[in-house]
Copies of this chain bind each other. A is one copy, B any other.
Amino acid sequence: MPRVEKVDLKPVGYVRRASKQEDVKDRMLTCQIVIRRELAKALDGLEDFSHLFVIFYMHEVKGEDARKLKVHPRGKLALPLVGVFATRSAFRPNPIGLTVVELLERSGNVLLVKGLDAFDGTPVLDLKPVDDRDRVTRPRVPEWLKKLHAVK
Contacts and interface: CB of A to CB of B under 8 A. Distances in A.
A64 interface: no
Interface string A79-108: 010111111100011101010100000000
B96 A45 contact: no
Interface string A123-138: 1011111111111110
B139 A86 contact: no
Nearest to A50: B140
A151 interface: no
A70 B44 contact: yes
A10 B86 contact: no
Contact of A42 (B69, B130, B136): B69
